[in-house]
Amino acid sequence: MGRELREVVYVDGVRTAFGRAGADGYFWKTRADDMAVKVVRELLRRNPQLPPERIDDVVLAATAQVGDQGLTLGRDVALLAGLPKTVPGFAVDRMCAGALTATTAGAGEIAMGAAEVVLVGGVEHMGHHPMGEDVDFNPRFVSERIVGDSAAVMGQTAENLHDAFPHLTREHADRFAVASQQKAAKAWDDGVMDGIVVPMSVFTEEGWTVAERDQFLRPDTTLEGLATLRTPFRTAGRVTAGNSAGLTDGATAALLTSDQAAAELGLEPRMRLVAFAYSGVEPELMGLGPVPATNRVLEQAGISLDDVGLFELNEPFAVQVLTWCDGMGVASDDPRLNPYGGAIACGHPLAATGVRLMAQLAYGFRERPDARYGLTALCIGLGMGAAILWENLQNGG
């Protein structure tokens, strides 16, 4: 017997401030799962009409599924957050697309009628678990030439993009980085992040403090300053710490429901999930992944890029966003693109980032009721891309 798929809506999303990874960061003495507990509890606080027992699943992502972000993270955090023991949970890993994959996994449950309310998100404590630590790469990857030597080092793949697209120069990347910092600073000054970032009390070497503002924000960044930075991935290269996202710790969580459950519980949906796609590309050029993913998601929806009013793209490296712009025919200074800045300014805690993109898009939809569709997209290590197309439900239509 056939069944009718249910519409999936985004109700709310939050994140911690993103702290610098390492001993001088906010979260050095804080557990990763406790960071995730904080954002889950905040979603419940902000949506008191949602009875905790109505949550059907908790799907949380982490790239390094070890230590304080190991176990079955969704179930671990659900229990620690005080959700009823009847609420299940699980963990997913698609590296940088972890939170987006948690979102599409949870959306699948809702669409199929297996769930009505799902919490999704991700956490990455890069201070406790540096990228690649304790990973045993199969030697056949290189010996059998399945991937090139550079595929496992994200900074080297970014240098490869500069090689492949020589017109995307270091100066172009630096200009994009300056703009990201400026837009992020303005977003904080304008109160954009007040409704997205959850302050969290943390213990540090200096005692108790409140992690309430991203630690990598550098609003005084200049082109002249960026030009002096070294290129750690290649002599006389083009990728620097200034035109890349910093290594960060952070957690995110979002509330997804069916449209029927939102109406029943008195929740206000802000976006409808229209379509999603994942794609694979050459691992050595992993930053290209969002281009085919975007094309696939537009084809699914039967619309063109001109129909999309807002883009939230991750910024692991400026050149990666520039290759998406180049491939999609979008100017790097298009006002639709990352209007509140991106990961170059706030950081990129791997599996957590996807919900940050979603939360910023939802805010952008509120400010731009004329924008019917918006895109969240990012590249993924080992040569993949992800894209989710959303419809604005805040436009009064």
Q: 74 phi and psi, to 5 degrees?
A: -60, -45
Mean pLDDT score, 154-166: 95
Task: List active site positions.
Answer: 96, 348, 379
pLDDT, position 396? 63
**Is the pLDDT assigned to residue 103 strictly greater than 60?**
yes
The pTM assigned to this predicted structure is 0.97
Asked whether 160 and 285 are in contact (CB, 8 A), the reply is yes
Q: What is the rounded CA–CA span in Å between residue 103 and residue 88? A: 16
pLDDT, position 360? 98
Displacement of CA 119 from its chain's centroid (Å): 15
Q: Where does residue 275 fall: left (phi above 0), alpha (psi -120 to 50 degrees), or beta otherwise?
A: beta
pLDDT, position 341? 98
Mean pLDDT score, 12-21: 98
Q: Where does residue 109 fall: left (phi above 0), alpha (psi -120 to 50 degrees), or beta otherwise?
A: alpha
Asked whether 149 and 283 are in contact (CB, 8 A), the reply is no
**Is the pLDDT assigned to residue 259 strictly greater than 80?**
yes
Q: What is the rounded CA–CA span in Å between residue 72 and residue 90? A: 5
- Give me the CATH code for the 145-192+273-390 domain, please: 3.40.47.10
Using DSSP bridges, classify how beta strands 308-313 and 271-280 pair: parallel, antiparallel or unpaired.
unpaired
